[in-house]
Amino acid sequence: MLDSHQLAELLGTAAGILDAASSQFVNGHRADSAVEKKGNDFATDVDLALEKRITAELTRLTGIGVHGEEFGGEALDAAQVWVLDPIDGTFNYAAGLPMAAMLLALLVDGEPVLGLTWLPFTAQRYTALVDGPVHCNDQPVEKLRPAALADVVVATGTYNIDSRGRYPGRYRAAMLANLSRECSRMRMHGSTGIDFAYVAAGILGGAISFGHHVWDHAAGVALVRAAGGVVTDLAGKPWTIESPSALVAAPGVHERMLELIGAAGDPEDYR
């Protein structure tokens, strides 16, 4: 097990690598699709180049393997593994929208022990070790306090009403309708990493991810936990790297969101 001093050193090394890659991230804005993926998804040349660059530097400087979104790599069940999403919010990035981020987390025995979320277009750098606190641009962020859903903004993932995946579009619409009746405002940013970082910073009260990819979640899970937030899947089970979804929120907000999500019923009933 890594001690706090070792984790802090790894965090500093990782931050330096992401800092150095930020100009490449910014300069590639509006990059075209290079690799088509499932479900109307794609990767740009910048995704591929950044993942290769960051992976090489992390491996060289830390001796720990990397599992990336585009190329895979080190097994997720390794004792220690970096998990990297070089561009979270690729659709935004390619379209010219600034809501895109670089996400990096270190898993130890499957648990995120540190997280980094870089927002180069807005010059925001979120970091945290497992025990907190969360930092934004090296300044500590106040720990999350209990809040009411009616007083906060909630972010959610995008969807197609006709989709029939793990969480069908009609189920998502019913669930979001329930939440919209009570929360202050709903937002759809198109970047899970940004949503989770903003929950950790107290900007958002909660955020929903309908996805299951660990590279979308791990960095933000580390941040939200370090901030004192609650992290589960949409059924209320504790989040793990194999979870089918993620719900992160401030205390109080999370409990109420789960109640309203549960009121939408079983996703299987919407197929």
Output phi, psi for 221, to 5 deg: -60, -45
Task: Indicate if 115 and 172 belong to the same structural domain.
Answer: no
8 A C-beta contact, residue 24 and residue 87:
no
Task: Indicate if 154 and 232 belong to the same structural domain.
Answer: yes
CA-based torsion, 132, 135, 141, 144: positive or negative: negative
Task: Indicate if 98 and 70 belong to the same structural domain.
Answer: yes
Task: Indicate if 42 and 133 belong to the same structural domain.
Answer: yes
pTM score of the predicted model = 0.94
* Residue 40 pLDDT class (50, 70, 90 cuts): very low
Please tell me whether 87 is known to bind a ligand.
Answer: yes
Q: What is the spatial distance between Cα 124 and Cα 228, in angstroms, rounded to a whole number?
A: 20
Please tell me whether 88 is known to bind a ligand.
Answer: yes
Please tell me whether 151 is known to bind a ligand.
Answer: no
Q: How many domains does one find in the chain?
A: 2
Q: What is the spatial distance between Cα 261 and Cα 271, in angstroms, rounded to a whole number?
A: 17
How much is the pLDDT for 33? 53
Q: What is the spatial distance between Cα 251 and Cα 240, in angstroms, rounded to a whole number?
A: 19
Report in angstroms the alpha-carbon separations of 136 from 57, 97, 118, 230, 250: 23, 22, 10, 20, 18
Domain end among 106, 140, 174: 140
Identify the DSSP state of 167.
S
Please tell me whether 69 is known to bind a ligand.
Answer: yes
Task: Indicate if 49 and 108 belong to the same structural domain.
Answer: yes
pLDDT digits (tens, 9 = 90+) for 68-104: 988 999 999 999 999 999 999 988 998 889 999 999 9
Predicted confidence (pLDDT) at residue 116 exceeds the cutoff of 80: yes
Task: Indicate if 47 and 100 belong to the same structural domain.
Answer: yes
Which domain CATH number covers 223? Answer: 3.40.190.80
Which domain CATH number covers 104? Answer: 3.30.540.10
Domain that holds residue 29: 4-140
> For residue 200, what are the contacts with CB-CB under 8 A and spacing of at least 6?
126, 128, 134, 141, 144, 220, 223, 224, 226, 227, 229, 248
